[in-house]
Chains A and B, each alone.
Chain A
Amino acid sequence: MRVDLSVNLAPHHKLELRLRNPIMTASGTFSNGLEIAKHYDVERLGALVSKGTTLKARRGNGVPRTVETAAGMMNAIGFQNIGVSALVSQIAPVWEKWSVPVLVNIMGETLEEYGTLAARLDGVPGVAGLEVNVSCPNVEAGGIEFGQDPRAAASVVREVAANTSLPFLVKLTPNVNDIRPIARAVEEAGAQGITVMNTVPALAIDVRRRRPVLANVFGGLSGPAIKPIALRQVYLASSVVEFPVVASGGAMTGTDVVEFVMAGASAVQIGTASFLDPSAAWRILDELEAWCLAEGLNGLDEIRGVARRRD
């Protein structure tokens, strides 16, 4: 017997976003899927999320770009990517042959760029939806990130919505006082869901060189070290919105996925775990299925958000 783990991340959108299971890959931890697809069956996964894609190709930051930390790692890759045009012409045709939905993670430097990116990807075969990265400084508003201000985040959502017929998620940053008003603003502005959360801003210092380790000075912390932070943010965000919340932050096992679902998540992205083991997403899916069977569950709806109940 198998458990029905399917989930719809855009139930109110005309295109919907149906996943055969809630296990997704996280942006920036799976490239564009082509490398891993040579060795593993990506069709078994719920959905893939592309490398963060910008309007123009970017070389990214200098090295070191990553550093290992206690039960985690930091990265500051600097959005090395081939740019949206090359993605559309070279990568999307490969995705088109896959039945697994692929979301393109987009990041603009201005409001207008978000709109242009959304328009470029609209109707592209192989692209099932978007994930909008709002962790970019809004230069026009003094450098505060779009995702740190409910109004700025909502303006990005409206700009993307006006330029695409695709369902889209907004990936929120944990680097805010309270994630709830941002989650609400993004829902009201018309996104289909949110991904909670991006990496946690952090710093590592090399005592021998007496300098920060990373060329970019600061980096984003990921891995099992941040899972408790992500759980809290998922719990908080999903308590104030009706639309799907996709969890991202340090999931390493099937039990971690169950925890995120109990906090309110509809799907869970596997990120840093793939660096340790390219088959991590598949292993985690197997573990999730086994857990559900052992618990006699018919679907994840039975446990979604249960940890938030006050009985």
Chain B
Amino acid sequence: MKSYTIEVTESQRLYGNTHLLWLVEPEAFFSVTAGQFVMAYCGEGWDPLLGRAISIHRRRVTADGRREFALLFDLVGRGTDWLARRREGDAVRIVGPLGRGFEVRERVQKMLLVGGGIGSAPLIWLADDLVREGREVTLVLGGRGTPQIFPAHLLPPEVELVVATEDGSLGETGRITGPFQRLLSWCDQAFACGPDAMFEALYRVVADSGLRKPVQGLLEARMACGLGICYSCAVFPKRGGVRLVCHDGPMFDLRDLYG
């Protein structure tokens, strides 16, 4: 973890209200795992003051051998608006890589990935990795409507995609808990990212199923530092105590939070 000022190599509105930024990857990022995140700093002065916690969305090596990573984020305020106005050649300061990412079991084959809204961002990279390793991947994406759903044509072709929208404009009508319930018995391991309410609903599905399926959730939280020093991003496991999303997570086994 360090502070880096790095160059933007690509910047585009990818879909709906969601922006994609490709950046030159610092060397220290080579061992980063899916689910880790960066704090991205917006603006030139002290205002906006704090970084925006954004998970790493994808990584690539360009034709000339340069390593890059991508951030995918919704435009929700002046910080992300500033970030989205960065263009090729502009500089962005980030701190990272941060947090504990997904822990993929070895020697298991059937992987279920569940993303709610912008929670799809870190799952795409996980899907890229899992497909490359020759595993079977089913990706369930959910959102209010079509503008919240990551475009299918940008996924590896090996990924089986299931979409559920609340307004029925794309895929099944309803929430992702439907397809999740259906696919749970199929999978060996499940990974989820989305709003808190989604995790709770997923955990309930798992608990009610009686299946002892491991589900890792990547939590989103309001953070000031991302480093484990400001104590903003508290999460309170049902069993008691308190954990920090940035430092103890953002990946948690759902049983450790809701069990």
Contacts and interface: CB of A to CB of B under 8 A. Distances in A.
A35 B2 CA distance: 12
Contact of B234 (A80, A224, A272, A279): A80
B234 A35 contact: no
A72 B225 CA distance: 13
A65 B232 contact: yes
Name, among A51, A276, A279, the residue most crowded by chain B CB atoms within 10 Å (CB to CB).
A276
A60 B234 contact: yes
A170 interface: no
A275 B230 contact: yes
Interface in A6-51: 28-31, 35-36, 38-39, 51
Contact of A75 (B2, B49, B224): B224
Interface residues of B, number: 29
Interface of B: 1-3, 41, 45-51, 95, 221-222, 224-225, 227-236, 241-242, 247
A82 to B, nearest CB: 10
B229 A64 contact: no
A64 B50 CA distance: 15
25 contacts: A35-B227, A35-B247, A59-B234, A60-B231, A60-B242, A62-B234, A62-B236, A63-B232, A64-B232, A65-B231, A68-B48, A68-B50, A69-B49, A71-B46, A71-B47, A72-B49, A73-B49, A73-B50, A272-B49, A274-B229, A275-B227, A275-B230, A276-B41, A277-B95, A278-B95
Given A59-B241, A277-B95, A279-B2, A223 B49 contact: yes
A30 B230 CA distance: 7
B230 to A, nearest CB: 5
A252 interface: yes
Nearest to B28: A39
Contacts of A224: 46, 49
Interface string A70-108: 111101010010000000000000000000000000000
Given A59-B242, A71-B45, A279-B3, 17 more contacts: A36-B227, A36-B229, A63-B233, A63-B235, A64-B222, A64-B232, A65-B234, A68-B48, A68-B49, A71-B46, A75-B230, A77-B232, A80-B231, A224-B46, A275-B225, A275-B230, A276-B50
